[in-house]
Amino acid sequence: MMVKWFKSGSPWVWLSAAAVSVCILMVAALLGLIAARGLVYFWPKDVLQATYHDPRGESYRLIGEIQDTEEVPVGRLRENGIEPPGDESVYIRYLVKTGNRDALGMDFRLVLPVFLSDVEYPRELMVVERREWGNLYGYLREVKENGRVVAKGAAAAEALRVRLKRTLELFEKIRHIEKDRIGAINYQLERLRLQERRLDLDNDHDPAKRAAIAMQREALQEEYETLQKQRNELFPLLNRDSFSAEIMDGRTVEVPLAKVVRFYFPNAMGPVDKVGHYFAKLWEFVSEEPREANTEGGIFPAIFGTVMMVLLMSVLVTPAGVVAAIYLREYARQGFVTRLIRIAVNNLAGVPSIVYGVFGLGFFVYFLGGNIDALFFPEAQPTPTFGTPGILWSALTLALLTLPVVIVATEEGLSRVPRSVREGSLALGATKAETLWRTVLPMASPAMMTGLILAVARAAGEVAPLMLVGVVKLAPSLPVDGNPPFLHLDRKFMHLGFHIYDVGFQSPNVEAARPLVYATALLLVLVIVVLNLTAIRIRNHLREKYRSLES
Amino acid sequence: MRGDFDSMIGNSSASDSLTATQLRQRTRILKDHLARYAVTIGGIGVIIAVVLIFFYLLSVVLPLFKPAEIEPVASYRLSAASTDDQTLHLAMEEQAEIGVRFTRSGLAQFFFTQSGAVMTEEALPLPSDVTITSFASGAPESAIVAFGLSNGTAILARHIYQVSFPNDKRVITPKLEYPLGEAPLIIDGKGRPLRLLTAQSDQEQTSFAAVTEDDQLVFTHFAVADSFLDDEEEEGERERTSVELEGLPDHTAYLLLDAEQDHLYAANREGALSVFDLSDKGQPALDQRLPSITEGSKVTVMGMLSGGISLMIGSEDGRISQWFPVRDDSGKSRLTHIRDFDSQTAPISVLTPEFYRKGFLAGDTAGNLGIYHATAYRTLLVEPVSQQPLQRLAISPRANAALGETADGELHFLRIENEHPETSFHSLWGKVWYEGYSQPEYVWQSSSASDGFEPKLSLTPITFGTLKAAFYAMLVALPLAVLGAIFTAQFMAPKMRQIVKPTIEIMEALPTVIIGFLAGLWLAPTLETHLPGIFALLLILPTGVLLFAWLWTHLLPSRIRHKVPDNWEAALLLPVIALLTWFSFAISPVLEYLLFDGNMILWLTHDMGIPFDQRNSLVVGLAMGFAVIPTIFSMAEDALFGVPKHLIRGSLALGATPWQTLIRVTLLTASPGIFAAVMIGLGRAVGETMIVLMATGNTPVMDFSIFQGMRTLSANTAVEMPEAEVGSTHYRVLFLAALVLFTLTFLFNTLAEVVRQRLRKKYSTL
């Protein structure tokens, strides 16, 4: 029976079915993994307190969040000099985030639960997110103003809440002054300097022009000084509050409130509080700037940079791709040459993206950018303006990269427009251009849309070429801001994909940054999956439509 | 519009309305033409832009293979030079504007290289009744010259050039400086005239070696004594050691110290060579004696390459051979013959190394100038400069100018264009014997912190890495994608197909940075801890699936079986496979405990001697396989699905089973399409950047082991490109790497495309 079954070939069918299942499972597992890890990041975890009998040292009090759980074969433990008590072959191991990097030296500890005792989750345990040194875990002791204790014990939490609120407001004010207003003044001062340099270069010694520049500069300087004074008045207010907390090794540490982003008592939080906290963190993630070398805070600049770059790229690639497709399909004489071109275009879709990056760097950045600088920005030399990687060159490079996608999609759309429609239009006396503009293109527009969406999805996820032509790990300013000319095409930008690479692989504290990377990856995957599903939707809808037209 | 309006109200003359219509007609036609031109120009423009990529890459790469060029600028005799005063040494400053000539009478003449006009002359502070008996020049970048005197002493000098900008004009002021003081230094305590001299000097130490008139070798070393008070070097703070050494070849004619002052080479005209080890300055010793280094020919000149490791020997038959110390099996370093250059035929009369690269100039007695690069094993140029023998040669620090003196006392100033001597087919693809290596090897090491570094630009290891990564990726992707495509196209229920196809398309759209990041941060550590599990899975998965299939078709009551519609096997298998995978990973620690004593990696590295990287080819294979599967799957599925249905039905009607039909009919017909799919997939695997960047250690090793990483062309470019200086050899070689990638993928893709187009034609005729 078995032999007959094998002879029928049906086992092979089952095996090939298994191949499909494996592929689907892999996709599901990947998406599931990213979603699970990315979404959990914002959820406040309970903080445990326990006594850890370190097999290689003394016992101590452990306070922290369990970040990860893994199974370790006993051999590996022995290799690390740990002799577990039981005789099992596998042991559970926790990765515990203990925070307090400034006091303890490290954020994380590997802990074997078999050595833990007295595990509890005290409601008074506090988590403090700080602007530097990562989280603090401990018990709130006192709240102070200028070193004087204003609240302690049970009242401390409320006092801390009030004071943190006012400190955050002050912080925001100072940030506004420093970043937005002083930033704008510096920008204008730099422009004045360049104007003056330009006059020098042009041998223009018109005193009126110079006087105007000097006057503007003086006004700016004055404004700058007032702002600085304002800021200096705010500083003592910002720095007056602080609190002290007892951390895991029993020490009491004092933290100024100016360094605190938020605090909470996770073990005392109810489900409603946790959901609130979850969304607050989620909002922070998408709307704030990163902190601590990108390992904390939000990713707003990366989202903004990605969107800007993709928009620019769309503006560049759509007309070029559509025109090329119209030429190939409607105007060029079909024959050997068009076949060759089609092969070339299809081929380009398969050329590695890094090659486009190399081309972009050499041709756009160094050649075009260098020449633009020499012609139009001699005053800024030797600092390059366009002769250095930036968002414009990134958009151009990716436009070139996604060009085949748009051409192929548009061509397919054009080829699906029934001949009868064209002939009808021509028979009614319309010229070729009119036929194209009025009938063919509108019918093919969803196909162009599909092409564009696919191009956008590809561009949003592409990283390798961007590493050469304009992406940076931390951009000081966004490509769009309040300073004229508002859109700064020469600036470098941050990108979601590169952010993942950079934080996940180049960060000094990979372990601490990992949850953030998962969250970023989730966001990127979501964007791309949604874009692709939309494209697939449009395409399927289109096919239905043409089928009905043809019949 | 005007015409319409006029004709509507009917108050215009017929001729007017006619012209108006004509006008409108004409505008329409004009517009039509304009559109045609605009679209044509636009379309062709876009296509040209696309072709530009290839030509731009090529244009950046081509200068790598350009031979050197020389252009004679001027020939002259120095105006103030007395003809009988013999030239000892020539040199030039950074800009190649000013040259210097040291003469036998102790004169340093600084002159303009363009015109030969003497700028200044400086005489050495020679004591009276002493003559110069020998001369030596140190490593070129140190600008050291030393004069051996008839009383056993020597004077050490440096020629330096101060650049100032009075009135925004560059002015170069040359002068001589005496790092160890103007007073002659005692080299030979016995006061014998120094017949041969060699010297090297740097911040910490100065070494002299000399052969006296009665053929004794003297080595004298000056070390700067540690001074805690100030850094100023002062008289009397130097420690002098002087030793006489045995082991000199008879009639020694050449004496050379390396820049590190660790080795001393002495040779005679017959080719006998002695190497002295100077690492212990108090007790230098004879290290090695070579009876003949020239295979019968006579040694005519000896010199060292920049970095002071390679010894270059010119001989009477025009051959130049390179030697450097190589560690043998016992760990002892031995001077070894590396390679020969025999592009010149006349006896080599002078050898001059470049300052910072491993290139050198050679002049011969027929007046030819040769430009070579040692590492690249490349003769860049051999051209006559004069009819007279070349006696002295100097190269500018930037290697863009040379100054040669012929036997008749004439100086020739030449411009050299030689931007990229480091690359040749040999150095890019072949095994190269680099300085300090025990044998020729393929190495990629583009930069290092040290000066005198020999760039190792072999593309072989990274191309190998690229192909290795692609191979492992295909190993994973090929069976999954092709089998999956077969099932989807041939057996799957249409409803399920509607779910599967978009899923695969989503899979294709996933950014590789995400796959790479998961591979590096999640998959690699997971595999490391569950290594036995992943190998167990290879066995468990197929057997488990077959077992399930057997049970399902033979043991399950048909009542239940018929509840599941036909051709939903893939959906049925989902939980089975998930379970099997979980099971394999769950038993992994148990297996590891039972089979490998609790630690498989330790077992691999210790017992099997297989080194293990956490980010290895297995991780890359799985991750990149994942990225390549959808590409192959979609195209193969299209090809299989496009097989005309009547063929399949015919086969089934004749009694073949579905599987037989598939093997004998469908697969055979669609095989070119599947081939094309595989080619495209391979192209993608070759060019993928982010996954390999994140999932491998990026070390350029040449090892096919599945447990080791690799460095690929793409990742290498991504990592090194931002740091490469524009226009440098490194920059251009990276462009070459990109061009290689471009060509590789272009080949795969074109092949696939041509096959596909043929297939399409075939289907339409069937």
Write out pLDDT tens, residues A28-72. Answer: 999 999 999 888 888 888 898 988 888 877 888 889 988 888 877
CATH number of this structure's domain A305-550? 1.10.3720.10
Asked whether the beta carbons of residue A431 and residue B32 sit closer than 8 angstroms, the reply is yes
Amino acid occupying residue B149: L
Q: What is the DSSP letter of A334?
A: P
CA–CA gap between residue B229 and residue A299 (Å, rounded): 55
CB atoms within 10 A of CB B471: 14
| Domains of chain B listed by start with CATH number | 2-65 (no CATH), 66-81+300-457 (2.130.10.10), 126-292 (no CATH), 460-528+613-765 (1.10.3720.10)
Q: Which residues of chain A lie closer than 8 angstroms to B660, CB-CB?
A: 9
Q: Is pLDDT above 60 for B226?
A: no
Q: Which residues of chain B lie closer than 8 angstroms to A355, CB-CB?
A: 53, 57, 687, 738, 741-742, 745
Nearest of B681, B710, B658, B98 to residue B463 by alpha carbon? B710
CB B745 within 8 A of CB A350: yes
pLDDT at A495: 92
Q: Compute the half-sphere exposure of residue A249: CA atoms within 13 Å on the CB side of its CA.
A: 11
CB B90 within 8 A of CB B405: yes
Scan residues 406-465 of B and list those with Cβ closer than 8 Å to A.
Answer: none
Q: Which residues of chain B lie closer than 8 angstroms to A362, CB-CB?
A: 56-57, 60, 735
Q: Global pTM?
A: 0.87
Q: Which residues of chain A lie closer than 8 angstroms to B545, CB-CB?
A: 14-15, 18
The average pLDDT across B588-605 equals 80
CB B267 within 8 A of CB B293: yes
CA–CA gap between residue B585 and residue A470 (Å, rounded): 42
Pairing between strand B252-257 and B263-268? antiparallel
Burial track B270-305 (b if 16+ CB lie within 10 A, e otherwise)? bbbbbbbbbeebeebebbbebeebbeebebbbbbbb
CA–CA gap between residue B447 and residue B454 (Å, rounded): 8
Q: Which helix (H) or strand (E) holds B650?
A: helix B645-653
Asked whether the beta carbons of residue A320 and residue B42 sit closer than 8 angstroms, the reply is yes
Asked whether the beta carbons of residue B593 and residue A517 sit closer than 8 angstroms, the reply is no
pLDDT at B7: 44
CA–CA gap between residue A63 and residue A251 (Å, rounded): 13
Asked whether the beta carbons of residue A460 and residue B659 sit closer than 8 angstroms, the reply is no
CA–CA gap between residue A416 and residue A94 (Å, rounded): 59
pLDDT at B448: 58
Positive or negative, the Cα torsion across B184, B187, B192, B193? negative
CA–CA gap between residue B445 and residue A420 (Å, rounded): 63
N-to-C CA span, chain B: 54
Angle at A280 between CA A276 and CA A281, to 5 degrees: 120
The average pLDDT across B635-647 equals 88
CA–CA gap between residue B412 and residue B404 (Å, rounded): 5
- DSSP states of A96-152: EE---HHHHS-SEEEE-GGGEEEEE--TTEEEEEESSS--EEEEEEEEEETTEEEEE
CB A403 within 8 A of CB B52: no
pLDDT at B395: 92
The average pLDDT across B127-151 equals 89
CB A134 within 8 A of CB A99: yes
Q: How far is B627 from chain A (nearest CA, A)?
A: 10
pLDDT at B4: 47
Asked whether the beta carbons of residue B659 and residue A517 sit closer than 8 angstroms, the reply is no
Q: Which two tokens stand for residue B178?
A: 């005496």
Write out pLDDT tens, residues B469-484. Answer: 999 999 999 999 999 9
CA–CA gap between residue B124 and residue B155 (Å, rounded): 8
pLDDT at A74: 76
CA–CA gap between residue B358 and residue B182 (Å, rounded): 34
Q: What share of residues in chain A are helix, strand, coil (percent, to 5)?
A: 65, 15, 20
pLDDT at B478: 94
Nearest of B460, B510, B371, B350 to residue B736 by alpha carbon? B460
Q: How far is A283 from chain B (nearest CA, A)?
A: 22
pLDDT at B85: 79
The average pLDDT across B540-547 equals 92
Nearest of A495, A507, A471 to residue A107 by alpha carbon? A507
Q: Is pLDDT above 70 for B451?
A: no
pLDDT at B761: 82
Residues 6+ apart with CB under 8 A from A74: A84, A88, A89, A90, A91, B593, B598
SS in 3 state form for B37-79? HHHHHHHHHHHHHHHHHHHHHHHHHHHHHCCCEEEEEEEECCC
Q: Which helix (H) or strand (E) holds B107?
A: strand B107-112
pLDDT at A549: 67
Write out pLDDT tens, residues B687-696. Answer: 899 999 988 8
pLDDT > 90 fraction of chain B, expressed in percent and rounded: 29
The average pLDDT across B605-620 equals 84
pLDDT > 70 fraction of chain A, expressed in percent and rounded: 99
Q: Which residues of chain A lie closer than 8 angstroms to B687, CB-CB?
A: 350-355
Q: Which residues of chain B lie closer than 8 angstroms to A468, CB-CB?
A: 718, 721-722
CA–CA gap between residue A3 and residue A133 (Å, rounded): 68
CB B455 within 8 A of CB B422: yes
Q: Which two tokens stand for residue A109?
A: 């500890």
pLDDT at B157: 92
Interface A–B counts its CB contacts (< 8 A) at 350
Residues 6+ apart with CB under 8 A from A333: none
Nearest of A22, A479, A478, A180 to residue B541 by alpha carbon? A22
Q: Is pLDDT above 70 for B229?
A: no
User: Which residue on chain B is closest to A9 by alpha carbon?
Assistant: B659
Whether B130 contacts chain A with CB within 8 A: no
Tell me the pLDDT band of B225, cut-offs 50, 70 and 90: low
For chain A, the structural domain boundaries read: 48-121, 138-270, 305-550
Asked whether the beta carbons of residue A521 and residue B517 sit closer than 8 angstroms, the reply is yes
Asked whether the beta carbons of residue A331 and residue B43 sit closer than 8 angstroms, the reply is yes
Q: What is the DSSP letter of B177?
A: E
Angle at B545 between CA B542 and CA B550, to 5 degrees: 125
Q: Which residue stretches of chain A have pLDDT < 70?
A: 549-551
pLDDT > 70 fraction of chain B, expressed in percent and rounded: 94
pLDDT at B5: 44
Asked whether the beta carbons of residue B658 and residue A433 sit closer than 8 angstroms, the reply is no
Q: Is pLDDT above 80 for B564?
A: no
Amino acid occupying residue B506: I
Q: Which helix (H) or strand (E) holds A50?
A: strand A48-53
Point out the residue among B515, B521, B746 whose CB comes nearest to the CB of A351: B746
pLDDT at B12: 47
CB B695 within 8 A of CB B642: no
pLDDT at B619: 92
The average pLDDT across B282-295 equals 85
Asked whether the beta carbons of residue B43 and residue A324 sit closer than 8 angstroms, the reply is yes
Q: Which residues of chain A lie closer than 8 angstroms to B477, CB-CB?
A: none
Q: What is the DSSP letter of B724?
A: S
